[in-house]
Structure 1
Amino acid sequence: MIKKILIGVVALIVLVVGGTLAWMSIPFSYNQDETAAALISSDKVNVDEGDFISFKPVQTAPTKGIIFYPGGKTSAETFAPFMRRFAEQGYLAVIVPMPFKTAFLGVNKADEVVAAYPNIQHWVIAGHSLGGVAASEYVKSADLNRIEGLLLLASYPASDISQFKIATMSISGAKDLQSTPQKINENKAKLPASTDYVVIENANHWQFGSYAADNTKQQGLLSPSEQAEQVFAQSLAFLNRLP
């Protein structure tokens, strides 16, 4: 009898976990026209879709790079337009596709990126939403001589990383209904005291990436292009301030 109960419990756990992973694997819709265009190589940026999606400047040999963790239920391509722009400014930019579209199953994937590009001496790790949470967790085990910056987009850490000496910027939206301003404020103590906080007025959760318009029905927002421009400008300024 006990054996049958245990088998039933195990079967239930497997069913729940399997169902959750299957649900997480179904991504939010994204702007396919924008992302397709961003994934085409040009005379300025070479795009490589292998284990990672990487954007490399053609005319320079970069020594600085940015690693990006997408949020939950998010295809890596969703942030291709955003990341390509860093390559246009001379950085190596790498998006990490996550197992089952779940960054917590790939917290240490950045190690693989660092190993794959040994010529890059200075890295920033970034993430949106749950991707930012995972990026924050990665900081705990990262080589902070190589990983020199943490960039959080509409995100905050799940645990305390305030003791780690890493340059950090948090960019959030004043009209974000997921990573709300209240949640950002409540979790400030978990980040280094030197963290730079940027709040973009009339910005929401979804327009940090090239998500499809049907993911939000909010009114009074910046246009997607306006929000994207402000997020990128602040992000680039942060990277440029690092050594």
Structure 2
Amino acid sequence: MKIKKRTIFRLIWFSLVTIFFIWQWTTYQSRNLPVNTFDNDSKVTIEETNDEIAFLSKSSNYQNEIIFFQGGLTDPKAYAPLCRKIAENGFTCHLIKMDWRMPQWDYKKIETMFDLKNGKYIIGGHSQGAKMASLFVYENPGLMKVLFLLGTSHPRDFDLSGRNIPSIKLYGELDGLASVSEVMENKNKLPKNADLIEIKGGNHSQFGYLGKLLTDNTAEIDLDEQQRLTLDKLIDFFHKIENEK
């Protein structure tokens, strides 16, 4: 009887663990992408390789290009709609695919993908991708032109306050993974004069086209609105940088 109980317990345990991991994996998949996300048109051309999905802008003469790091474990395609919108507004955007979806293992690959010394690259990302973008800036002073961060408490473990790089951080009022209190706690480690902008009613998950991630709070605005606000703030900031040439 003891053996039967133990066997039943193990079956239940492994079943619950399996269900949990399947549910977790599902929430990190991209979903509900706009139907035209990967279509070529008069404004954007899409080129995909093993290392990136490039959204090549054909609508302006802006020289700066965006390097976008995906969040940890997330399907990179979850950020494709935002990257496409960035390109439609005139900035070529490179959405980097990380091996095993882990930016902390693969973030340095951009050193061989791009001629970073030409001074035209804007780097950033979401969540763990934002952490690794800020770490890349920390490790390579003066190399990147601009830093943007979405839904992250970083820089947390290193200090960028002495760096003179134009920076912007967007954070969700209801972010359950990078809370407002954590963002505020580490704001003094951002580059000086960084713009810090709260997305009212926004959460962590809706910076991408994802399911609701574990421990995240329910947003009070819908996905389209959070994406629109994020895009507007980023494009305004990028334009400001262009106008300061």
Are 1:200 and 2:199 counterparts? Answer: yes
State the partner residue of 2:82. 82
The DSSP-based 3-state class of the residue aligned with 1:37 is: coil
Change in CA separation of 1:207 and 1:216 when aligned onto 2, cut-off 3 Å:
farther
What's the CA shift for 1:60? 4.6
- Structure 2 counterparts to residues 133-144 of structure 1, below 5 A: 133-142=131-140, 144=142
Structure 1 residue corresponding to 2:146, chosen from 146, 149, 157: 149
Q: How far is the alpha carbon of 1:206 from its aligned partner? A: 0.7
Distance 1:214 1:124 in 2: 27
Larger mean Cα displacement after TM superposition, 233-242 or 37-46: 37-46
Give the corresponding residue for 1:170. 169
Contact preservation (8 Å) 1:63, 1:121: no
Amino acid at match of 2:111: D
Asked whether the 8 Å contact 1:47–1:54 carries over to 2, the reply is yes
Instruction: Give the superposition deviation at 1:196.
Output: 0.7
Q: Retained in 1: the 8 A contact 2:174–2:218?
A: no
Structure 2 unaligned regions, length at least 5: 1-20
Any residues of structure 2 matched to 1:41-80 within 5 Å, and which?
41-50=40-49, 51-60=51-60, 62-80=62-80
Q: What is the total number of aligned residue pairs between the two structures? A: 217
Q: Which amino acid aligns with 1:127?
A: G
Alignment of 1:163-242 (within 5 A): 163-212=162-211, 218-219=217-218, 221-242=220-241
TM-score scaled to structure 1, two decimals?
A: 0.80
Cα RMSD for the two superposed structures: 2.6
Q: Given the superposition, is the C-alpha separation of residues 114 and 217 from structure 1 closer, same or farther in structure 2, using an over 3 Å criterion?
A: closer
2:97 is the alignment partner of 1:97:
yes
Q: CA deviation at 1:219?
A: 4.5
Q: Which residue is 1:16 aligned to? A: none
Structure-1 separation of matches of 2:169 and 2:42: 33
Compute the displacement of 1:37 (Å): 2.8
Q: Is the counterpart of residue 109 in structure 1 residue 109 in structure 2?
A: yes
Q: For residue 122 of structure 2, give the secondary structure of its aligned residue in structure 1.
A: strand
Task: Give 1:97 shift.
Answer: 0.6
Q: Percent identity?
A: 25
Counterparts of 1:220 and 1:136, CA distance in 2: 26
User: Using a 3 Å threshold, how does the CA distance of structure 1 residues 77 and 46 change in structure 2: closer, same or farther?
Assistant: same
CA–CA separation in structure 2 for the residues paired with 1:140 and 1:196: 18
In the alignment, the residues of structure 1 paired with residue 125 and residue 168 of structure 2 have an alpha-carbon distance, to the nearest angstrom, of 11
Task: Give TM-score, length-normalised by structure 2.
Answer: 0.80
